Amino acid sequence: MSVLELDAVVGGYGDTQILHGVSMKVDPGEIVVIIGPNGAGKSTAMKAVFGLLNLSSGKVSLDGEDITNMPPEQVVRHGVCYVPQTSNIFPSLTVEENLEMGAFVREDDFQPRLRELYEVFPPLAEKRRQTAGTLSGGQRQMVAMAKAMMLEPKILLLDEPTAGLSPKYRGEIFSIVKTVNATGTPILMVEQNAKQALKIANRGYVLVDGKNKFEGSGQSLLDD
């Protein structure tokens, strides 16, 4: 069974239809990438998972459970974490305080999880008492991902994690994405840097004008 599945999703913002039938899935352990031209609806497809859109038809399911139009906070509680393109970290708080905020819906002791994540992201352990605003762009992105991982999500959604970063940091982010995936978390991400993203992807979807245009393995799309 797929972890996440969008089935013929149609919808948009208010009365404006953006998605005209988008289908995609993420299977256990996979990295799946959504690529396509600007304005194709890539970010919008991600927002559809989060109940941030008006869906007029289609279905979103998580581990086989129907989560179509479920409000964002409930989607989070069901195990989907989302790192938006615009950073949701607080520059004046320390790295550790930002990570603690990521644990907001946890009722148990999150300290063990924090220690686990410091092992996955060693630079954050080193900088945990520094304010997030003093970090490099790549490290801030690392904080945003670690914050989302505090909840041990069933799937992590990343909206252009390398946006605005120099090529040097881009490579770093893709390797972090692989590391996070290797801890067992499937990942669905939107990326502009299609070539680099497809290299680490099990599968990719090309969206054009709010519709599926192509899909295939990361390698087969690279070859096209």
Contacts with ligand ADP by CB under 6 A lie at 13, 16, 18, 36, 38-44, 85, 190
- Rounded least distance, CB 11 to ligand ADP, Å: 11
**What's the CA gap between 108 and 21, in Å, rounded?**
40
Radius of gyration of the chain, Cα coordinates, nearest whole angstrom: 17
Q: How far is CA 68 from the centre of its chain?
A: 18
CB of 38 or CB of 92, closer to ligand ADP? 38
Tell me how far CA of residue 187 lies from CA of 11, 14, 80, 111, 136, in angstroms.
23, 28, 10, 24, 23
CB of 88 or CB of 130, closer to ligand ADP? 88
Which pair of structure tokens corresponds to residue 87? 């950073």
- Rounded least distance, CB 41 to ligand ADP, Å: 4
DSSP state of 136: -
CB of 47 or CB of 140, closer to ligand ADP? 47
- Rounded least distance, CB 208 to ligand ADP, Å: 9
CB of 39 or CB of 91, closer to ligand ADP? 39
- Rounded least distance, CB 207 to ligand ADP, Å: 6
**Amino acid code (one letter) for 168:** K
